[in-house]
Structure 1
Amino acid sequence: MPSGSATKPGDVVTARNGKTICVDNTDAEGRLILADALCYSSEFKPKWVLDIATLTGAIRVALGTAATGVFTNSNKLYSLLESAGSNTGDRVWRQPLWKHYTKQIAEFTAYDLNNQGKGKGRR
């Protein structure tokens, strides 16, 4: 541990929007920083927020190098990304946003979210 004030597994942090997040995976700090950036950007009421990041190797396990995973609740945005990918050769593949996955990161009593989730999909 770098110091006594370093984040440790089990620590709970509060995000910009007031949600509490249990840090089970200290190597997943990027998604915590991204969460605050997304909360901040939403205050400006944008039509879309587009994040392009390599926050996890799990998408590479799922898709290999054949495509990039896309998570979106917007059919229009996905259509635009898919079309752009077809034109450039950078294929994209839409990933599901099922409530089943929300339950894996949000069904806790001591905090709102967990940065790792539970079940077989955890890394």
Structure 2
Amino acid sequence: MIKNDEIKEFAHRPQECMAALLPVRDALEVLNGRWKLPILITLSDRPKRFKEISKDINGITDKMLSKELKDLEINKLVTRTVYDTFPPTVEYARTEHSQSLTNVIMALKDWGTLHRKEIIGK
């Protein structure tokens, strides 16, 4: 984990600063947008079908959900399993790799709570 002192040191070494920012950029690229984290959170407890995810996330359109699920699948954060039924059943689940985001999600939640209190007092 990078500490405040380490961040200050990067300011004096631009090449090292850029090298340290690359993984952060990668992470933000994968998790960008309004919907990816809510999708991962709703899939935390169990695999779900498309309509279940859609109902869990207020305001997401089916088109956007489909796009975001594809992006998450490409980045190996979600798996898509098609069952041989009629009509076909499709379930989405978090991958083991996506479980490594749990601490990140919790840290963002904690920071968001602090930030909310700082900005709006709630």
Same fold, TM exceeding 0.5?
no
Structure with the largest fraction of helix: 2
Q: Please give the TM-score of this superposition, normalised by the length of structure 1.
A: 0.28
Bigger radius of gyration among the two? 2
> Larger relative contact order (C-alpha < 8 A, sep ≥ 6)?
1
